[in-house]
Structure 1
Amino acid sequence: MNRQKYPADQCLSERNGHLFIEDCDTLKLVEDFGSPLFVVSEQQLRNNYRQYKRAFSQHWPNGQVDILPANKANWNTAVRTILSQEGAGADIYSEGELYSALACNVRRDLISVNGGGKSDDMLRRCIQAGVRITVEDLDEPERINRIAATLNTSAKIRFRVKPDFPNLWKKTDFAAESTSIDMGIQLYKSGIPAQYLEELGKQVLQMKNVELTGLHFHGGRHHNSLWYWRGLMKRYAQLVVHLCQAWGGYQPKELDIGGGFATERDPHSKLGIREDTVLTWFTYPLELALYSLSVSARYRVMSALIEKALIKIPGRKRAPTIEDYAEAAVGTFRDTLIRSGLDISNVRLQVEPGRGFYGNTGIHLSSVRKFKRQTQPLQMNWVLTDTTYFFMSGGVYEHNLHEFCVANKVDQPAKHIADVVGQSCYADRILPLVKVPDIAEGDVIAFLDMGAYQEVSAANFNALPRPGVVLVNGDQAEWIKLPETIEDVYRRDRIPERLRQNDGLNPVTPFSQEARHA
């Protein structure tokens, strides 16, 4: 077992040359359920909640600590039900996510409804449900107050604040542009700019049907370092203290520090988009210069360049542990508040993790269709799979480079440099220029850390049916989301009757039983 790749506290292991998730052989999962396939570990999900709860509570002895995993990262109802059983809250960003949280019995007072531009209908539903409304728009408190008055009740709200961060000068991982974390946060749409908060708070504290329970801030995954979290929490805490003083000694009941913690293997922004751009400034002029050589010599040099300079190696560096993150973030936040004289006795601390919480709970399995080779004029290899990066759109947007293995050959050495590619008509380079062992048709590729943002962002490009999701618990496995059929892909389509009458073609639709069996 490779303990660097699969830490002892995680759900993955190597047994007799095969990758196991909990006690399920991934090859048997593909045999039983087909591929491509998303797989979620129930025990890892439960363990992650308990680990987060324990780590953050250790550094916040002043009051209750609530873990509110981000529904946007994984809104599967079975996953959400497991977390509700554990006592987790939920970070919500849409009406659909709110539906999931309410249907899966999340405690109402532990639901944080975030996002700007909420409709009156959405606000009314939140007030009736008794959830926390995280305010992002300047007119939102007055609208909430008005709607709550018509319902003869009071609404609980928090401000999502947007502090200034001149201390965060390192380059953000979020943007393709090369810019600082400070600029990245300022350019991001969410949060109420600090310039409006003093006056807005004074207005809200006078409203009869609104209770300001506390403050909320979400920085996101700009950088995986502890330096980032210490700098982030220091400035946030300073703004909290400033606002409490400006509001005449306001005492918050809860303070939410959001999320943005990395998974330990941390695939985020590791595809090297910026580095490749820099390299291209050198490789393209070099390529032009090589035109002075013979054709064969030019391709030999370019082949060597691919092998030596452009190869991708996932997982070169591990991110901090969640215990390290908790110490850096909460320790800095708490110390800054206390040194500034703010009374935080019985103040609840809330945390809204996403990728760091769900990432290592899931993997994606895909079968190899072909191993394609080319030796002339340029040496290149491709591993053609039955999946696509459109089933992993969240990772594509974030330039993720996921660690992987050949699930039935985990103990075999890497021999070839290849692109692991998907089945769509795009280039579909899921893993560009990585090292693989000898590959054969029917081998299974396991993409790791697929529990957050991947399956929930899957798309139907090329009319490809999206994969299903299987939950494993020990040696048991069962569907928690069925795979789509081709009929499912076209289910919402409608052909106007006038087109059917005038096309002069067979009236049998392509989605009917008759057409499928013609």
Structure 2
Amino acid sequence: MPRTTPMADYLSERDGHLFVDDIDTTKLVEEFGSPLFVMSEQQLRNNARRFHAAFAKHWPDGPVDIMPANKANWNQGVWAVLADEGLGADIYSAGELHCALSLGLDPNRISVNGGGKTDETLRKCIIEGVRITVEELNEPERINNIAKELGKTAKIRLRVKPDFPGIWRRTDFAVESLSVDLGLQIYKAGIPAQYLEELGREVLKMSNVELVGLHFHSGRWRSDTWYWKKLMKGYAELILRLSKAWGGYRPQELDIGGGFAIEADPLHGLKTRMHAIETFFTYPFELLAHVFGKAGRYKFMGFAIEKLMQSKPGSQRAPTIEEYAEAAVTTFRDTLLKGGMDLKGIRLQAEPGRSFFGNAGIHLTSVKRFKKQTKPIKLNWVLTDTTAFFMNTGVIEFSLNDFRIANKLNAEETHVADVVGHSCHGDRILPTVKVPELENGDLIALLDMGAYQEISASNFNALPRPPVVLVNGSQADVIKRGETIEDVYARDIIPPHLRREEKIA
């Protein structure tokens, strides 16, 4: 049977081919080459409106801002769409700040976070009037001094790090097997709760700093709504405690950060790729299989790989954006109200990353060879013209993205194979997945690739990184050109005494 897991709205099947809006993916590759990253303008717009509607529904008290994480996809063509939708931005670096400001985003909805900010970055933030999200104890004083020199008032928020002893379930994100509350403690970001009361009192006395609110971002430690209910309850309780400690302080805005999973959560692949049989029992099984003799052992292990270790991308789903919004915002709001806080006019902000961009992009790659062997063990490999090094974050996070054979959507899946890249590395992009009979030139579409993947691409093996195309209806525009081999080597500098022409002279 062909793959039938759900796809994003901009993807459709026509005559056995995968279409992006009104364009056949095979035509995209004919025009722009392979491999290729593709983003959907309409899906980005739909995500912007869907996020806002979902979160605003449960926060009737004041405005709601959706401020996507620029780190998840900092392509300027993508952000031109978001700027047109009136969105804000979660910013981490000076480079990301350049992206947001150059496209004219509202400074009041730009949050610049991250530790170790330079004076130059702080000065830029104060001049432009963006929010500075404070991560370090000495940062407010530095900001106050720079703002005083500029004759301005800096608007800041404190990025808080609450204690969460009640979130004891195991994370499904980190490679380590540990509870979420311990993972949150290990996570580097945020000001530990032990310092916040005193720091807040000091900040409220500063002449050139305005504490406009509080910020909290946990990241994606679990995909379920239970996690978000626990998270928001703990954050709200900390806000209430700080408000009391600071003499009845009432924030203008509260930011709950991001970390919501993509609905077709590729990080569920971690469970598959670290399956107990594969991780803990493969070698003992191999030892036991020696009783069958050499041929029997290989036959047994071939069966285990094909049947027991088979990966099933897209088979597990995360909650919808609406379910996340209801769980997070309702719990957050109810806890604040029960604690006596007046929420009228307070601005709520959310900073989704992977869940905002993920389903708006795909990666297209062509089959170079379908390699098979039957002896001594049955194995198959689908060699493609891409590489996992063009999707580095996916490798780091053990992602297992859903996929389609874009020019053979209805073909019966008759083989189990590793879909691999063409670098000089293991390069297992999709391990042990079911595929149809494939030929050179067939096209594979990796789904939900819009977040973190293209922007983390590297040049291992001196491979030029692929282009990015933005599709809107029947129109396709390059928003990042593909590299040439000359581009790959453009930053290299050979010392004068080693240049060949110098030696010849």
TM-score normalised over the length of structure 1: 0.95
Q: Distance in 2 between matches of 1:57 and 1:320?
A: 18
**Do the aligned residues in 1 keep the contact of 2:496 with 2:502 (CA within 8 Å)?**
no
Superposed counterparts of 1:245-256, under 5 Å: 245-256=244-255
Q: Which moved more, 1:380-389 or 1:301-310?
A: 301-310
Q: Distance in 2 between matches of 1:278 and 1:167?
A: 31
Is the partner of 2:211 in helix, strand or coil?
strand
Q: Distance in 1 between matches of 2:463 and 2:278?
A: 34
**Do the aligned residues in 1 keep the contact of 2:273 with 2:311 (CA within 8 Å)?**
no
Is the partner of 2:168 in helix, strand or coil?
coil
Ranges in structure 1 where 5+ consecutive residues have no aligned partner: 508-518
Q: 1:26-53 CA deviation, whole Å, 9 max, x = no partner?
A: 0110011100000000000000000001
The share of aligned pairs that are identical, in percent, is 62
Determine the structure 2 residue equivalent to 1:28.
27
Superposed counterparts of 1:45-84, under 5 Å: 45-84=44-83
- What displacement does 1:281 show? 2.5
Superposed counterparts of 1:44-443, under 5 Å: 44-272=43-271, 275-276=274-275, 279-443=278-442
Is the partner of 1:240 in helix, strand or coil?
helix
**Do the aligned residues in 1 keep the contact of 2:5 with 2:315 (CA within 8 Å)?**
no
Q: Distance in 2 between matches of 1:131 and 1:342?
A: 26
Is the partner of 1:494 in helix, strand or coil?
coil
Q: Distance in 1 between matches of 2:15 and 2:266?
A: 27
Q: Distance in 2 between matches of 1:205 and 1:64?
A: 24
Q: Distance in 2 between matches of 1:90 and 1:3?
A: 36
Determine the structure 1 residue equivalent to 2:466.
467
- What displacement does 1:293 show? 2.7
Q: 1:250-285 CA deviation, whole Å, 9 max, x = no partner?
A: 010000000011111110251337734664332201
Is the partner of 1:268 in helix, strand or coil?
helix
Q: Distance in 1 between matches of 2:223 and 2:19?
A: 28
The one-letter code matched in structure 2 to 1:353 is P
The one-letter code matched in structure 2 to 1:245 is K
The one-letter code matched in structure 2 to 1:171 is R
The one-letter code matched in structure 1 to 2:150 is L
Q: Distance in 2 between matches of 1:334 and 1:289?
A: 57
Q: Which moved more, 1:167-176 or 1:356-365?
A: 167-176
- What displacement does 1:503 show? 7.1
Q: Distance in 1 between matches of 2:352 and 2:342?
A: 26
Q: Distance in 2 between matches of 1:42 and 1:272?
A: 32
Is the partner of 1:205 in helix, strand or coil?
helix
Determine the structure 2 residue equivalent to 1:476.
475
Determine the structure 1 residue equivalent to 2:6.
6
Q: Distance in 2 between matches of 1:468 and 1:233?
A: 39
Is the partner of 1:66 in helix, strand or coil?
strand
Q: Distance in 2 between matches of 1:265 and 1:219?
A: 20
**Do the aligned residues in 2 keep the contact of 1:81 with 1:105 (CA within 8 Å)?**
no
Aligned length: 504
**Do the aligned residues in 1 keep the contact of 2:52 with 2:64 (CA within 8 Å)?**
yes
Q: Distance in 1 between matches of 2:413 and 2:381?
A: 14
- What displacement does 1:171 show? 1.1
**Do the aligned residues in 2 keep the contact of 1:270 with 1:399 (CA within 8 Å)?**
yes
Determine the structure 2 residue equivalent to 1:18.
17
Q: 1:330-389 CA deviation, whole Å, 9 max, x = no partner?
A: 000000000110111100000000000000000000000000001000100000000000
Is the partner of 2:417 in helix, strand or coil?
strand
Q: Distance in 1 between matches of 2:400 and 2:211?
A: 41
Relative to structure 1, the CA distance from residue 30 to residue 502 in structure 2 (aligned partners, 3 Å threshold; closer, same or farther) is closer
**Do the aligned residues in 2 keep the contact of 1:69 with 1:354 (CA within 8 Å)?**
yes
The one-letter code matched in structure 1 to 2:442 is D
Q: 1:227-265 CA deviation, whole Å, 9 max, x = no partner?
A: 011111000000011100110000100000000111111
Is the partner of 1:128 in helix, strand or coil?
helix
Determine the structure 1 residue equivalent to 2:492.
493
- What displacement does 1:174 show? 2.5
The one-letter code matched in structure 2 to 1:5 is T
Ranges in structure 2 where 5+ consecutive residues have no aligned partner: none
**Do the aligned residues in 2 keep the contact of 1:272 with 1:399 (CA within 8 Å)?**
no
Is the partner of 2:9 in helix, strand or coil?
coil
Is the partner of 2:282 in helix, strand or coil?
helix
**Do the aligned residues in 2 keep the contact of 1:178 with 1:274 (CA within 8 Å)?**
no
Relative to structure 1, the CA distance from residue 278 to residue 155 in structure 2 (aligned partners, 3 Å threshold; closer, same or farther) is farther
Relative to structure 1, the CA distance from residue 181 to residue 298 in structure 2 (aligned partners, 3 Å threshold; closer, same or farther) is same
**Do the aligned residues in 2 keep the contact of 1:424 with 1:462 (CA within 8 Å)?**
yes
Q: Distance in 2 between matches of 1:405 and 1:257?
A: 35
Determine the structure 2 residue equivalent to 1:515.
none
Q: Distance in 1 between matches of 2:79 and 2:114?
A: 20
Relative to structure 1, the CA distance from residue 181 to residue 278 in structure 2 (aligned partners, 3 Å threshold; closer, same or farther) is farther
**Do the aligned residues in 2 keep the contact of 1:273 with 1:399 (CA within 8 Å)?**
no
